[in-house]
């Protein structure tokens, strides 16, 4: 059974107890429940124990309102599933709740059906799981794009010298057709371009950051660094 931490912020003891009863009878999750009666207490718990996975938040609380608490919590934690609960069905309140980043809104009238609360929690958790999978997929795509870019950059850096070496080698293959001066020139080209390719390979381990963004036939290319970065950046 999966464990899930829940913070209940509700000033009516009977309602808070009903939430706990519903959650403790869950067959899908082992809910680790903390219950407080005000936003101020909730902040203290949040600071003491760290973020909770699920927050059940009453909108109308003594002291700081639930909406104010929601705004602050959402600015600190984008992962928590926040379900706001209120006796009102005023559309303006519901609008504000979602605008401030709540995942769901439940009227206390709906809580006569015990499945409503768990259904909202399940939906919120499933939403977060989907978001994490999508983020991982995006990161994987970005990594693949980076590898492709590096390969294209290296190809671009090595292609010309390799072509020159190949041409010179084809000429040198028949030395009798060349004058001594032409032979020396082609040998010089081979050495020069081998050195050029060696320099590309030498700089390759320091290819950590983009130094120049260019485009060749629609392909994104980065320039290899001219020299190794300072020793403190190599580590």
Residue 145, pLDDT score: 77
| DSSP H helical ranges for the chain | 13-24, 39-49, 66-76, 91-99, 114-172, 180-203, 231-234
Answer whether CATH 1.10.287 is correct for domain 138-234: yes
Residue 81, pLDDT score: 94
- The answer to whether 2-112 and 138-234 have equal CATH topology is no
Place of tokens 């294209």: 152
Domain borders along the chain are 2-112, 138-234
Residue 150, pLDDT score: 75
Answer whether CATH 3.40.30.10 is correct for domain 2-112: no
User: What is the distance between the alpha carbons of residues 68 and 64, in angstroms, rounded to a whole number?
Assistant: 7
pTM: 0.63
Using an 8 Å Cβ cutoff, are 19 and 117 in contact?
A: yes
Spell out the residues 6+ positions from residue 91 whose beta carbon is closer than 8 angstroms to its own: none
Residue 221 corresponds to which tokens in the numbers above? 């290319």
Q: Any idea of the CA torsion for 91, 11, 118, 69, to the nearest 10 degrees?
A: 60
Cα separations in angstroms, 198 against 23, 64, 157, 167, 206:
65, 66, 11, 18, 14
Beta bridge partners of 29: 2
pLDDT tens across the length of the chain (235 residues): 788 999 999 999 999 999 999 899 888 889 999 999 999 999 999 888 888 999 999 998 888 888 999 999 998 888 899 999 988 777 888 888 999 999 999 988 787 777 888 899 999 999 988 988 888 888 787 777 777 777 887 888 888 899 999 999 988 888 788 888 989 999 999 999 999 888 888 877 776 554 445 554 555 555 666 665 555 444 4
- The SS3 call for residue 30 is strand
């Amino acid at each position: 059974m999966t464990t899930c931490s829940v913070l209940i912020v509700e000033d009516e003891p009977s309602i808070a107890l009903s939430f706990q009863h519903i959650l403790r009878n869950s067959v899908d999750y082992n809910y680790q429940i903390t219950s407080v009666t005000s936003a101020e207490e909730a902040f203290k718990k949040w600071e003491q124990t760290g973020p909770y996975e699920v927050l059940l938040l009453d909108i109308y609380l003594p002291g700081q309102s639930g909406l104010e608490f929601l705004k602050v919590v959402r600015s600190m934690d984008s992962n928590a599933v926040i379900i706001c609960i209120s006796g009102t069905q005023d559309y303006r309140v519901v609008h504000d709740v979602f605008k401030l980043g709540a995942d769901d809104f439940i009227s206390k009238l709906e809580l006569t059906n015990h499945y409503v609360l768990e259904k909202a929690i399940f939906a919120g958790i499933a939403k977060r799981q989907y978001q994490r999978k999508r983020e991982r997929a995006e990161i994987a795509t970005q990594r693949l794009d980076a590898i492709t870019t590096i390969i294209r950059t290296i190809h671009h850096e090595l292609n010309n010298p390799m072509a020159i070496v190949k041409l010179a080698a084809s000429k040198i293959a028949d030395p009798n057709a060349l004058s001594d001066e032409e032979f020396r020139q082609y040998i010089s080209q081979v050495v020069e371009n081998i050195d050029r390719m060696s320099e590309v390979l030498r700089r390759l381990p320091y290819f950590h950051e983009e130094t120049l963004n260019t485009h060749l036939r629609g392909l994104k290319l980065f320039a290899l660094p001219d020299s190794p970065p300072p020793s403190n950046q190599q580590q």
